[in-house]
């Protein structure tokens, strides 16, 4: 199962997250005829079939029967009612199950699927929708190295992915990446508001701030040096940037970030 072109992939649920992963897979060369999506909505299926050329069905069981890997991409609230009726098919075909649902533990999925299943829990984030996602992956003991490698190929089609050693590590990923787009949106929101107070129009302030965030993230990704050094290089002694950074540090930005991320992680742990 190490070669993507020999693997058939079924998506149960073809909404936003599944649609973006399927789009990324087809764009990165995964054969469309080896992808099948199962969904009650024909409107969503028709769009995927027409734009990406994948196979579609309204019957979840047919999709599972055809697949080496089944990606569960329905809302967490209905996961149990979707997986339980598929248990006989899971037990017969024993595909790898990859769940992208937030907050559903591996042992619940395994129980609903009839037990003894190879399961990967994946925590993607919303930038996956623009193929710039950052996902955490956790595999139970039944997942083979080959299955891990194919799972990585799937998630890397919409960004990057990192394995965590224990299921609790998924909660760390929620704090570091899953919820984190909102932290950056908050920072941008605050900067745009400050710009407006200085008298800059909202439109101009938004464009300047968003482009700067994109530029800073791109530099951080492409640079050989770490983010602390990149920050230092913008801070000329006695200059303007230094004043802003000193002000952030005086206001306790590191404590604020640490506290916020721990609050996020603790909530993820409570919800699991
Ligand atoms: P969505 O509502 O866009 O997609 C869910 C799809 O499931 C819908 O198209 C719906 O028609 C379909 N569906 C409903 N009942 C079904 C059934 N019985 N069988 C098959 N399909 C059925 O939701 P989404 O945002 O794509 O989220 C899907 C999963 O991804 C969730 O579990 C969510 O926790 C997880 N997730 C999403 C994001 C994100 O950024 N959107 C991030 C992290 C995790």
pLDDT at 2 over 80: no
The response to whether residue 78 sits with its C-beta less than 6 Å from ligand 1 reads: yes
Residue 39, number of CB atoms within 10 A of its CB: 23
The response to whether residue 158 sits with its C-beta less than 6 Å from ligand 1 reads: no
Q: Would you state the pLDDT for residue 238?
A: 95
pLDDT at 81 over 90: yes
| Rg of the chain over all Cα atoms, to the nearest angstrom | 21
Banded model confidence at residue 5, pLDDT cuts 50, 70, 90:
low
Cα 81 to averaged position of ligand 1 atoms, centre (Å): 14
Element housing 42 (H / E)? helix 42-52
Q: Give the Cα separation of 205 and 35 in Å (integer).
A: 43
Q: Which of 176, 175, 210, 219 is nearest to 192 (CA)?
A: 210
Q: Would you state the pLDDT for residue 1?
A: 44
What dihedral angle (degrees, nearest 10) is formed by the CA atoms of 246, 205, 187, 245?
-10
* Minimum mean pLDDT range among 79-83, 103-107, 206-210, 267-271: 267-271
Cα 40 to averaged position of ligand 1 atoms, centre (Å): 12
Write down the pTM of the prediction: 0.91
CA 46 remoteness from chain centre: 24
Q: Would you state the pLDDT for residue 271?
A: 81
pLDDT tens profile 95-124: 999 999 988 999 999 999 999 999 999 999
CB 119 within 8 A of CB 97: yes
What are the φ and ψ backbone dihedral angles of 250, each rounded to 5 degrees? Answer: -60, -35
Give the three-class secondary structure for 122: strand
Banded model confidence at residue 6, pLDDT cuts 50, 70, 90:
confident
The response to whether residue 82 sits with its C-beta less than 6 Å from ligand 1 reads: yes
Q: Give the Cα separation of 51 and 189 in Å (integer).
A: 35
Cα 128 to averaged position of ligand 1 atoms, centre (Å): 14
pLDDT tens profile 117-166: 999 999 999 999 899 999 999 999 999 999 999 999 999 999 999 999 99
What are the φ and ψ backbone dihedral angles of 201, each rounded to 5 degrees? Answer: -65, 155
pLDDT tens profile 210-251: 999 999 999 999 999 999 999 999 999 999 999 999 999 999
Q: Would you state the pLDDT for residue 183?
A: 98
pLDDT tens profile 19-67: 999 999 999 899 999 999 999 999 999 999 999 999 999 999 999 998 9
């Amino acid at each position: 199962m190490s070669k993507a072109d020999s693997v058939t992939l079924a998506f149960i649920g073809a909404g936003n997250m599944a649609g973006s992963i399927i789009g990324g897979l087809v764009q990165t060369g995964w054969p469309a005829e080896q992808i099948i999506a199962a969904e009650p909505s024909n409107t969503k299926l028709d769009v995927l079939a027409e734009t990406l050329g994948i196979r579609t069905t309204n019957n979840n069981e047919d999709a599972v029967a055809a697949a080496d890997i089944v990606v569960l991409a329905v809302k967490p609230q209905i996961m149990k009612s979707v997986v339980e009726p598929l248990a006989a098919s899971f037990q017969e075909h024993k595909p790898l199950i990859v769940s992208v649902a937030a907050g559903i533990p591996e042992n619940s999925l395994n129980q609903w699927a009839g037990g003894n299943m190879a399961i990967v829990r994946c925590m993607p984030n919303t930038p996956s929708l623009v193929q710039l996602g950052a996902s955490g992956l956790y595999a139970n003991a039944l997942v083979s190295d080959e299955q891990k490698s194919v799972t990585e190929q799937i998630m890397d089609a919409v960004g990057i992915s990192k394995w965590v050693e224990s299921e609790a590590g998924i909660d760390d990923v929620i704090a570091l990446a899953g919820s984190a787009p909102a932290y950056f949106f908050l920072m941008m929101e605050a900067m745009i508001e400050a710009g407006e107070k200085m008298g800059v129009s909202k439109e101009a302030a938004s464009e300047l701030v968003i482009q700067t965030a994109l530029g800073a993230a791109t530099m951080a990704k492409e640079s050989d040096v770490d983010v602390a050094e990149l920050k230092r290089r913008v801070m000329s002694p006695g200059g303007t940037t230094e004043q802003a950074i000193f002000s952030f540090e005086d206001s306790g930005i590191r404590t604020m970030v640490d506290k916020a991320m721990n609050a996020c992680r603790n909530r993820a742990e409570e919800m699991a």
